[in-house]
Amino acid sequence: MTNNAEENVSSKLSEALWGHRFTAGQKGTDYTLEFMNVLLGANYKLESDYYVKKKMLLFRQFIFEGYKSGNKKDSHVNFSEEKYQELMEGLNCNVAEVEDIRSFFRNMTIRKSAKDNRSWYAHMLFPLNETLLFFELRDDKGSIQYERNFFSRGGELYYLMLSYGTRDSENLRLSLEQRLREYTKGNENIGNLVKAVSTSLGESCELEPEDPKNVFLTVPAEKVTQDVPKTNAKNAPTLPADNLPIYTQFAEDLHALLGLKIDSYEMFELMTALICHQLYRYLLGQSANVINEKPYFVLDCMNGEDTHIKRIASNSYKRHVQIIQESFATSIKERVDNSLPDVSVIANWKSEAAKVDNTDINKKYQVFFADINQASRRAPIKNTLIDKLENEDEQQALTLLRMELETLYLAEIKEKQQPIIRTLGEDGGFLTPGNYKRYVMGDTLLNALVYAVLDEREQMSFADFLSALYERYHIVIGPTEATVSGVYEKEGINRKSYDANEKRLRARLKRNGLLQEYSDATALVCNPYKVGRFM
């Protein structure tokens, strides 16, 4: 286990490469929900200077009464009898009717997984209306505060990506803002019920912009105005680049998806799959740029039935993991070289240690540990570092220390940063769970990509659709894309496997109602919904 000093190394490397910040604890639906909270708090405007949060504390205590509260055994959230009576009077309901209302909202709870054991203040509801959007909380010794355990800024960063991606297209920005507003303001009857419950409890389900504790900046400190508390500037989310073409693509795809007239639950699932896929591609792309590589996604559409396709889909994922490791290794090497610039530092550290008449290694090697940012490591690691330092050959000591520090930092990256990618892939439905991982095409993501690629078009040929998947998302399914990408030559498997993979995708599209076949062997990928609500 490391303390904040060592954790900051991993975090700073991640922030420089990916942004501030992505964390392993944030799940797929958390990204979507946090983004929607940011959007609501920014009044549905992209590139806002700040956004406002809301707690809806009593409403949530009512809905989640009896749920786990914190890590203490047998600790649960309670809802006071007094408030229960106020609720019955305010709604003019009896106990049975109030319990029906509670059950109605509980059924909207978003379940992350069977193992999900979150406390009541971290549970979220499907945002069928903007009144059901609220921020993650924590119970700090009886004081309820905002928390960033699961809402850890990934949704804020996605908001920034859409903001940057629409800077040069006012029409796209305005239309995207409008579609997002229309989506979250739907289901007015549910919104009215939430308002009635909140009003009866004496609280508001609206934003509270006058409360400075609710304001968190989404701009760098140098852009802070007098209207926004400067103390929050250090917490602003940041991206290493604000002009990546992929940001515009993200905005275009989300805009296309939101143009559909579909059920709110289905839209939320489609959005989550799409956002996970987009963020995954962003993280991988940032890492790939460091080592100047263009990654491709070979997807297994055959449920592992073809061993060749299964293997290369797994190889594709393994290579992407290596890309991420190599990109961080490059940054780590630069950092270690700065900490250990030349052999002279070895003699200095030995000299400082010799001056200390104390057997306590923390005191004897205090300067050494402080200079290399390892002061809070556990004793076994510190002893290993001392052994490297005390090598009689100072040049070898320098080499060994560099190697040891690089190994330590890489282990931290593997523990803290690589799980971010795995979670996005699994929750997005394009990465298999378990130890033997490979890329696949989940139905939800497949549907989302069809809608994104077609956009306002009603149909396109299956061949053109495969080409669009490759050109836009670097997805390899069939023999044509395998050949163009170089995967066919590299992997050396029979063309029949790619043909079978392509045919299986075609069959799945047809099963999902997204493909029509004609007697002349023509196959058209189609959008069964009416398009263009705001065009």
Residue 3's pLDDT is 45
Tell me, yes or no, whether 222 lies in a domain.
Answer: yes
117 assigned to some structural domain: yes
Exposure on the CB side of residue 147, measured as CA atoms within 13 A: 19
Q: Which two tokens stand for residue 318?
A: 């393994």
Q: 113: pLDDT confidence band, cut at 50, 70 and 90?
A: low
pLDDT of residue 225: 54
How far CA 367 is from CA of 202, 345, 381, 401, in Å, comes to: 57, 11, 16, 15
Output the average pLDDT for the chain: 90
Residue 7 has pLDDT above 50, yes or no: no
For 427, residues 6+ apart whose C-beta sits below 8 A from its C-beta are 27, 28, 29, 272, 276
Is the pLDDT at 55 greater than 60? The verdict is: yes
Task: Give the model confidence (pLDDT) of 362-371 as tens digits.
Answer: 889 999 999 9
Closest Cα partner for 382 from 8, 11, 3?
A: 3
Mean pLDDT of the 110-124 span: 78
The helix (H) or strand (E) run that includes residue 281 is: helix 264-290
Name residue 466's amino acid: L
Note if the pTM is more than 0.95.
Answer: no
Residue-by-residue DSSP string for 381-450: HHHHHHHHHT-SSHHHHHHHHHHHHHHHHHHHHHHHTHHHHHHHHHHTTSB--SSS--BB--HHHHHHHH
Residue closest to 362 by CA, chosen among 347, 379, 346: 379
Q: Is 234 within the bounds of a domain?
A: yes
Do 93 and 72 touch, CB atoms closer than 8 A?
A: no
Answer yes or no: is 394 within a domain.
Answer: no
DSSP letters for 168-179: T-HHHHHHHHHH
d(CA 102, CA 66): 12
Whether the pLDDT of residue 444 is over 80: the answer is yes
Specify the pLDDT at position 534.
Answer: 34
Q: Is residue 342 part of a domain?
A: no
The pLDDT of 107-111, averaged and rounded, is: 92
What is the number of structural domains in the chain?
Answer: 1
% of the chain residues with pLDDT over 90:
75
CA distance 281 to 425: 10
Tokens of 327: 């990109």
Residue 493 domain-assigned (yes or no): no
pLDDT tens digit sequence for 488-533:
999 999 999 999 999 999 999 999 999 999 887 899 999 998 544 3
The range of the structural domain enclosing residue 74 comes to 47-239
| In-domain check, residue 6 | no
- Is residue 123 one of the residues assigned to a domain? yes
Q: What is the pLDDT of residues 310-347, one digit of tens each?
A: 999 999 999 999 999 999 999 999 999 998 989 999 99
